[in-house]
Amino acid sequence: MRSVSVFGATGSIGESTFDILMRQGGPDAYRVVALTGGRNVARLAAQARALKAEVAVIADDTLLPELKAALAGSGIAAAAGQNALLEAADRPADWIMSGIVGAAGLAPGFRALSHGGTLALANKESLVTAGPLLMAEARAHGARILPVDSEHSAVFQALVGEEMEAVEEITITASGGAFRDWPLDRLAHATVAEASTHPNWAMGQRITIDSASMFNKALELIETHEFFGIDPGRIGVLVHPESLVHALVGFRDGGVIGHLGAPDMRHAIGYALNWPERMHLPVNRLKLAEIGQLTFAAPDPARYPALRLAREVMAAGGLTGAVFNAAKEVALDAFIGGGIAFTAMANVVEEVLSRLSAAGTLGKAAQSLDMVLETDREARRVAVEMIETMQRT
Ligand code: NDP
């Protein structure tokens, strides 16, 4: 029986993973080792009971009594806090979903890799902040990383049986997010509610807002570079409002292989769970005759400054990705909290990058996870300081 763990089980990716696991036999088909959540005790406990997990971990340690009460009589162990998350990652499993949002997902995923097995990576921030370290950790322990981001799963699928040296270009698509068709001068007044509505995908709030700003696509550009080891100059982004073509791989003989499918993360999650087999999955089938036409356009650099920043980050390399991600997370928190305008998020990130690059050390390769986490903390400190200054003036 395969053993599985799901980090971030209570989130959007986690719920889709739970759905697929249940459809594929649940506790009769899988030995479920660990499920983790951030604060949603009720959902975590319900999932743990349904999947007969060995341990359920809640990241917020003040919620441990509540989790214990919710699991009373089930025989499922309850734990809480950052160390408990790492201990859960120390429990070997054949397949681990890395579905925590943000840099918080890095350390547990990294730890899970040290026990071999397969890490299904939804947490793109891990590759953005510590790509080379993560890939090296997987190699060192004979672990495998399978992409779960829909674009990267699409590229991975298009590359089956192909050699990377035959690849000329990888193009990932973007819906354009909530504000694709807004006049540019309205963007500064966009509300959190408006930014939290995605035209095609149902996802967590943070990634949905990141789709509107294209910080999500910016992270994915870096993710593509780190995961597939392709030069940044050969990675493109296309705005594709229908979100049906997820990625295109262009080869040196002029052929292009595209991956199409309904915008439903259960495809990419199920593909990673069943890989290398393909099993029946409950996603809508594409009816192209009904859809009629697919549209594509180059992204507008004035609307989406995040894409330019991502290219600067890839050119600088080293620890720059950790700064980029941390500053983005703080700016996003500030936008969600009503502290800054939608358009100010890119300004904050650009300014933090420029301040921390001035020291001239960011381009150095990270030697350890601690270095990445230290850089993350420093970037957050500078970003918070900068936002406070912005708010005072
Ligand atoms: P959600 O916000 O829906 O869920 C995040 C999960 O992480 C929840 O289980 C949440 O717990 C948990 N969590 C939040 N903060 C912490 C923390 N500090 N420590 C531990 N756990 C925490 O996010 P998504 O599911 O949308 O995204 C998860 C990851 O997958 C992200 O990296 C995202 O970029 C990526 N991704 C998501 C896609 C999607 O369709 N949603 C598509 C492709 C990639 P709780 O809710 O209990 O507080």
Distance 54 CA to ligand 1 centre (A): 21
Distance 328 CA to ligand 1 centre (A): 15
Q: pTM for the whole thing?
A: 0.97
**In this structure, which residue's CA is closest to atom 9 in ligand 1?**
8
Is the peptide bond prior to 276 cis by the omega test (within 30 degrees of 0)?
Answer: yes
Model confidence at 392: pLDDT above 90: no
**In this structure, which residue's CA is closest to atom 32 in ligand 1?**
123
**Which of 222, 171, 233, 224 minimizes the C-alpha distance to 324?**
222
pLDDT band at 100 (very low <50, low <70, confident <90, very high): very high
Q: Which atom of ligand 1 is nearest to the CA of 216?
A: 34
Average pLDDT of span 343-367: 93
Q: Determine the pLDDT at residue 199.
A: 85
**In this structure, which residue's CA is closest to atom 16 in ligand 1?**
38
Model confidence at 275: pLDDT above 90: yes
Per residue in 215-253, pLDDT (tens digit) is: 999 999 999 999 999 999 999 999 999 999 999 999 999
Please, what is the end-to-end C-alpha distance for the chain in angstroms?
60
**In this structure, which residue's CA is closest to atom 43 in ligand 1?**
149
Give the residue extent of every domain in the chain: 2-147, 152-262, 317-392
Model confidence at 359: pLDDT above 90: no
Distance 290 CA to ligand 1 centre (A): 33
**In this structure, which residue's CA is closest to atom 41 in ligand 1?**
203
Task: Give the whole-number percent of the chain exceeding pLDDT 70.
Answer: 100
Q: Determine the pLDDT at residue 361.
A: 79
Q: Determine the pLDDT at residue 198.
A: 87
Q: Determine the pLDDT at residue 132.
A: 97
Model confidence at 339: pLDDT above 90: yes
Average pLDDT of span 193-208: 91
Average pLDDT of span 265-290: 97
Distance 257 CA to ligand 1 centre (A): 30
Q: What is the mean pLDDT of the chain?
A: 97
Q: By the 8 A CB rule, do 123 and 103 touch? A: no
Distance 325 CA to ligand 1 centre (A): 15
**In this structure, which residue's CA is closest to atom 45 in ligand 1?**
38
| Most informative mutation of 13, 98, 205 for ligand 1 (most atoms within 8 A of CB) | 13
**One-letter-per-residue 3-state SS of the chain:** CEEEEEECCCCHHHHHHHHHHHHCCHHHCEEEEEEEECCCHHHHHHHHHHHCCCEEEECCHHHHHHHHHHHCCCCCEEEECHHHHHHHHHCCCCEEEECCCCHHHHHHHHHHHCCCCEEEECCHHHHHHHHHHHHHHHHHCCCEEEECCHHHHHHHHHCCCCCHHHEEEEEEEECCCCCCCCCHHHHHHCCHHHHCCCCCCCCCHHHHHHHHHCHHHHHHHHHHHHHHCCCHHHEEEEECCCCCEEEEEEECCCCEEEEECCCCHHHHHHHHHHCCCCCCCCCCCCCHHHHCCCCCECCCCCCCHHHHHHHHHHHHCCCHHHHHHHHHHHHHHHHHCCCCCCCHHHHHHHHHHHHHHCCCCCCCCCCCHHHHHHHHHHHHHHHHHHHHHHHHC
pLDDT band at 201 (very low <50, low <70, confident <90, very high): confident
Per residue in 300-314, pLDDT (tens digit) is: 999 999 999 999 999
| Most informative mutation of 41, 67, 150, 207 for ligand 1 (most atoms within 8 A of CB) | 207
Higher model confidence: residue 207 or residue 359?
207
Per residue in 106-154, pLDDT (tens digit) is: 999 999 999 999 999 999 999 999 999 999 999 999 999 999 999 999 9
Side by side, the strands of the sheet bearing 167-174 are 235-239, 167-174, 245-251, 256-260
Distance 17 CA to ligand 1 centre (A): 12
Task: Give the whole-number percent of the chain exceeding pLDDT 90.
Answer: 95
Assigned CATH for 317-392: 1.10.1740.10
Q: Determine the pLDDT at residue 95.
A: 98
Q: Determine the pLDDT at residue 360.
A: 79
Q: Which atom of ligand 1 is nearest to the CA of 13?
A: 25
Average pLDDT of span 352-361: 90
Question: What topology does CATH give the domain 2-147?
Answer: Rossmann fold (3.40.50)
Distance 67 CA to ligand 1 centre (A): 19
